[in-house]
Amino acid sequence: MENNPKNHTESQSRRENRADAYGSRYEDKNRRESTGRTVGKNGSAFLQKQAGSTRRQRRKHRNRKDAGRKAVLLCLAVFLILVIAVFAGMHFLGRSGQENVSGSQGILRLFSNSKITDAAPDVTIDLDSLYSPYAVLIDKNTGTVLGSKRSDEKIYPASMTKILSVWTAIENISDLDASVTMSADYYDALYAQNASQAGFEPGETTVIRDLLYGALLPSGAECCMQLAIEAAGSEEGLVELMNQKVEELGLTQSHFANCTGLHDDEQYTTTYEMALILQTALENETFRTVFTTHYHVMSATDVHPDGFTVWSTFFKNVTDEIVTGGEILGAKTGYTEEAGLCLATMAQVGEREYILVTAGWSSEDVGSYHILDAFTGYNLLGEALGLGDESTDAES
């Protein structure tokens, strides 16, 4: 069979068209694959870029959170500093602004202890039934006056002075357990004035801490004199420190001329200011321990090889310390002819502590009416607080 030229030409043409079509499809496939690879590479770079951006945003977010926390802590610190500054300023103003106690009786002394305390009970105690002509009853934590009787009038403190002298000595002696030898220089003067003594002899070597008990419990004048030497070099030096404390407390009706309480016209206070002195002294743990002790056994010495025992002049004169709703915890008595019978006490009644100071009882009757006044005052307080009707009288 012969080939038809025309047919041959058409077949060749169809083959060429198929080849062109196949080539076009091949080129399209290669183009798509190439494009896909390009897009894949660009997509990977894009994702990496996006991931880096996310990490940077997270770091910024963490930094902002850290900065926020630091700002909050800084604000809290500033707030606390401002609160402390305000309270300290109010305390200072309260102290320095006390010009006359008669104009400040019953005012809450919220910052007299340099700390915030809960409010004192809202009761008023009538102290007119007490024998003592001068008296004040305050809440120990706040200084709030709950009852008063001529409490802003001048009195002579007698041996209540030893509260201030012992407290001042404690805060100015670095080692209370050091040994000390009793000086012979002041004994003759004490003998001449018939001053009360604890029982230490001139030249006797003892421990300073024992002198604290000797001064407050049996009211030993020789202990006060030796404490003055140890704390300030002399009685005059200690008295200067005592009056500095009076100024620091903002007291304007008190001045001290000696450390023993022996009479001096230039040594005076009021029952109210004496109560504030005791209130602040009780913040010192060493003073509080001594003040609330009923009796103490002195260390053995060369003169007293077995030691000797001293009793509180208050607790040795009572059968017990129970009052309505509580008990008397500590006390310091005082007496001179000019001052009369004086007494500063601290008691717990209910859940709180209180201070009662009385002064000025003087009569031909030698009964311990200042001690009776203490029990009467706290019993009245307990009754006003609804803590019971029973009271315990003291034996004189």
Per-residue pLDDT at 131 exceeds 90? yes
Question: What percentage of the chain exceeds 90 in pLDDT?
Answer: 65
Split at pLDDT 50, 70, 90, the class of 360 is very high
Q: Which two tokens stand for residue 349?
A: 């009644």
Compare 18 and 364 and report the one with higher pLDDT: 364
User: What pairing do the DSSP bridges indicate for beta strands 295-297 and 309-311?
Assistant: antiparallel
Task: Give 3's pLDDT tier (boundaries 50, 70, 90).
Answer: very low
Check pLDDT > 90 for residue 363: no
Q: 33 pLDDT exceeds 60?
A: no
Give residue 12's pLDDT: 54
Mean pLDDT score of the chain, rounded to an integer? 82
Residue type, 201: E
For residue range 179-209, what is the model confidence (pLDDT) as tens digits?
A: 999 999 999 999 999 999 999 999 999 999 9
At 109 the pLDDT is: 40
The larger pLDDT score, comparing residue 7 to residue 142, is at: 142
> What average pLDDT does the segment 65-93 reach?
67
Tell me the C-alpha distance between 284 and 191, whole Å: 32
- Residues 270-275: what's their mean pLDDT? 98
Band (pLDDT 50/70/90 cuts) for residue 74 is confident
pLDDT tens readout for residues 89-125: 554 444 443 333 333 333 334 334 444 458 999 999 9
pLDDT at 24 over 50: no
Of 61-70, 126-135, 164-173, 334-343, give the lowest mean pLDDT range.
Answer: 61-70
Q: Which residue has the higher pLDDT, 390 or 296?
A: 296
Q: How many CA atoms lie within 13 A of 323 on its CB side?
A: 29
pLDDT at 73 over 60: yes
* SS3 assignment, position 360: strand
- Percent of the chain past pLDDT 70, that is, above it, reads 71
Give residue 81's pLDDT band: very low, low, confident or very high (50, 70, 90): confident
Cβ neighbours of residue 348 closer than 8 Å, sequence gap 6 or more:
326, 327, 329, 354
More confident of the two residues 3 and 268? 268
State the pLDDT confidence band at 313, using cuts at 50, 70 and 90.
Answer: very high
Range 64-85 average pLDDT: 72
Is residue 160's pLDDT more than 70? yes
Per-residue confidence band for 305, with pLDDT thresholds at 50, 70 and 90: very high
The secondary structure of 132-151 as a DSSP string is: SSEEEEEETTT--EEEEEST
Residue 176 has what pLDDT? 98
Strand spans (E) along 187-284: 205-207
CA distances from 376 to 135, 228, 328, 381, 382 (A): 12, 35, 12, 9, 10
The helix/strand/coil state of 184 is: coil
Which residues, in sequence order, are CB contacts of 216 under 8 Å at separation 6+? Answer: 162, 163, 166, 290, 291, 312, 332
Digit-coded pLDDT (tens) for 207-265: 999 999 999 999 999 999 999 999 999 999 999 999 999 999 999 999 999 999 999 99
Full-model pTM: 0.71
Q: Has residue 322 got a pLDDT over 50?
A: yes
Q: Two tokens at 184? A: 């012979």
CA dist 396 and 380 (Å) reads: 20
